[in-house]
Each structure stands twice: as C-alpha cells, then as structure tokens.
Structure 1
Amino acid sequence: MKKMISVCLLFVLLLAGSLWIDQTMRSSEKTKPEEVAEEMAADTEKMTESMSHLSYTKYYVHASEGYVVIYQADHETVYCETSIRVEHLPEELQSGLKEGIALCSDEELYEFLENYSS
C-alpha cells in the first residue's frame, strides 16, 4: 500500500513539474505590449523605407491653345505656362498631352522643361 502511495505521489509530482515547465515556457514566449509596439514601429519603418521609391504625381503636362501648360496634381491649378509649342513635340508626347503627362517630382518637371524648351 505504501508503495502504491509512493508511486502515485511520484506521478503527481512529475505531472505537476511538467505542467509548471510548460507554463513557464508559454509565459516566456508571450510578448509584452512594449515589445509588440516596438516590433510594429520597426515594421512600419521598414515598410516606409521600402515604399520610399514610390511617389505620387505632383504635376501634369497638358496642351492649351497650342502650348504646353503645367498643372498641379488636381489638373486644374496652373503651375506654369510655357512657351513650348505642342507642334514641336514628338507625336507620342502630343498624344499624351490629351490625358496629361504625369510628372512625380520637381526634378522630372525641370528635366521635361529642359529637354523641350528652346
């Protein structure tokens, strides 16, 4: 009888020990709110860096009364009227002016103006 009690007690201790180890392992795997916030901030920073090459349209080049006109992104606000005649542009550019040629930066705008100004 004492042997059976000893075996049962040993079994209970082993079971309790394994449950305690399992609980300890699980609690160490849980992340703290600060760690989650830091990880999210790092992920956001990585995403921002990876998307930095993407840009939004800043200007549109259109034709108006035979001349090239630069509009802001809203297609309505005139940014700059040029002395560039539409007829002096390559045909592919002339056809693109109907819908507007998108330029994403000041650099692209200046490059366009430099290339097609006389």
Structure 2
Amino acid sequence: MKQKYYIGFFMAVFFIASMLGIGYQMSYQYVMDRHEAEAQAKREERAPDRPKEEELVTTKGAAQKNEGYYLCELQGYVVVYLSDHETIYEMTEIPLDTLPENVRAEVEAGKYVETARELYGFLENYSS
C-alpha cells in the first residue's frame, strides 16, 4: 500500500515540475518575442526611409543606392563615375566606338544611371 502512495506522490511531483518547466519556457518565449518586436519598432523609427534588408544593394567604393552613377567617356572607353562626377567608380574595357550612335551620344554627354542594377545591366549589355 505504501508503494502506491510513493508512485502517486512521484507522479504528482513530476507533473508539477513539468508544468512549471513548460510555463517558464512559454513565458520566456513571450518576453523574447515582445523584446524583438520593440527592437524592430525602434529600428524602424530611427530610419523609416531606409530600405529593408533584402532591398539593400552593396557596391564597391563609397557609393550608396540613392546616389546614382554617371557613364562618361575617358580616352575612348566608357568610365563609371560616382554622383560627384569626380570619383571613378569603375573603369571598363568597353570602347566608345562600339556603342550604338544614340548610346554613344548619351555616354559622351554623361549618361545618368540611378541604381547599381541598371548600371550593371548596361555594362553587361555592351561589354564583350
């Protein structure tokens, strides 16, 4: 008879300990989720105009996404300048005389390209 009481007591202690552990895990997860949501809200308050992580574009040099690029001619080749028109972003091996006439005129005048995606699209189309 005593053995039945021991088993019942052990089961009750095990059940209470299990419930406390589950409750602790649930409350810990709730606090961590709430903390992450508050941190995300603070990050969005600090930089509401900043693009989301998946929209960021990394580039060489000091260019940022919103600055843009200029395609110009230098010694018969296409050169990419940053938006300040002074800093060379990339020297290409695209000869100016291989470009179509209308594109050549745009490059000679200083063709503006807004994003890195457009820039590399242009360079891929007219290289090789």
TM-score using structure 1 length: 0.52
Secondary structure of 1:93's match? helix
Residue of structure 2 in register with 1:80 after alignment: 90
Change (3 A) 1:115 1:104: same
Residue of structure 2 in register with 1:59 after alignment: 69
Correspondence for 1:99 among 101, 105, 109? 109
Residues in 2 aligned to 1:110 and 1:88: alpha-carbon distance in whole angstroms = 18
User: Where does structure 1 lack aligned partners over 5 or more consecutive residues?
Assistant: 1-44, 49-54
TM-score using structure 2 length: 0.48
Residues in 2 aligned to 1:84 and 1:63: alpha-carbon distance in whole angstroms = 10
Residues in 1 aligned to 2:102 and 2:67: alpha-carbon distance in whole angstroms = 20
* Paired residue type of 2:119: L
- Give the deviation of 1:56 after TM superposition: 4.8
Q: Percent identity?
A: 42
Q: Give the RMSD, CA atoms, in angstroms.
A: 1.7
How many residues of Structure 1 are paired with residues of Structure 2 in the alignment? 66
Structure 1 runs of 4+ with >2 Å offset: none
Residues in 2 aligned to 1:117 and 1:110: alpha-carbon distance in whole angstroms = 10
* Paired residue type of 1:72: L
Residues in 2 aligned to 1:57 and 1:116: alpha-carbon distance in whole angstroms = 23
Residues in 2 aligned to 1:56 and 1:101: alpha-carbon distance in whole angstroms = 16
Residue of structure 1 in register with 2:123 after alignment: 113
Residues in 1 aligned to 2:68 and 2:97: alpha-carbon distance in whole angstroms = 25
Once the two structures are superposed, what CA deviation does each residue of 1:33-89 show, in whole Å capped at 9, x if it has no partner?
A: xxxxxxxxxxxx8xx7xxxxxx85510000110000000001110000000000000
* Paired residue type of 1:85: P
Larger radius of gyration: 1
Whether the 8 Å contact between 1:62 and 1:68 is mirrored in structure 2 is yes
